[in-house]
Amino acid sequence: MTNKLKYIRRSRELFIRLIDELSIEEINKIPQGFNNNIAWNFGHIIVSTQALCYVRPGINPNMEIRWVDKYQKGSKPEAFISEMEIEELKRIAVSSIDDIEKDLRNEVFNTIPQPYPTATYGFVMDSIEEIITCCLAHESLHYGCAAAIKRALN
């Protein structure tokens, strides 16, 4: 499991590096042919992984996830995302993975009260290993979208 989290952590490091190479205007730009921008993709992976690990499986159904409405599935960028918000998302990108690792060590995820399927992949997930695998694939997908948007900006 920690191996998969290592890849999620690295993916987020690469995402942050991609963001740091661009201006705030560039990470907010939606190029022609795209539905969203780099900032939205980054926020989306952060809120989605928290929701997939804690809320959807019933581990912590009332968990407050900052900006969930702004970045959840089905949302889209509706306003300029500030540098302050991007910096906070970067902090949460790291701390939320630290929290998942800690909760794994503390056996918080030993039982998944509410197995569920995702709209993206359709598999019913009834273990934290399946959820983390889904998160890894999902985060890779959105990092790829962000890299494509970066190429479209140039």
Which residues, other chains included, contact 53 with Cβ-Cβ below 8 Å and sequence gap of 6+? 59, 100, 109, 128, 131, 132, 135
Question: Domain holding 81: CATH number?
Answer: 1.20.120.450
Which residues, other chains included, contact 142 with Cβ-Cβ below 8 Å and sequence gap of 6+? 41, 42, 44, 45
Structural domain of 30 = 2-153
- Give me the number of domains the chain comprises: 1
Please say whether the beta carbons of 96 and 46 come within 8 A: yes
Q: Note if the pTM is more than 0.85.
A: yes
Which residues, other chains included, contact 27 with Cβ-Cβ below 8 Å and sequence gap of 6+? 19, 37, 38, 39, 42, 81, 86
Q: How far apart are the first and last CA of the chain?
A: 37
**What does DSSP assign to residue 53?**
I
Which residues, other chains included, contact 105 with Cβ-Cβ below 8 Å and sequence gap of 6+? none
Give me the tens of pLDDT residue by residue for the chain, a chain 154 residues long: 678 999 999 999 999 999 999 999 999 999 999 999 999 999 999 999 999 999 999 999 999 999 999 999 999 999 999 999 999 999 999 999 999 999 999 999 999 999 999 888 888 999 999 999 999 999 999 999 999 999 999 8
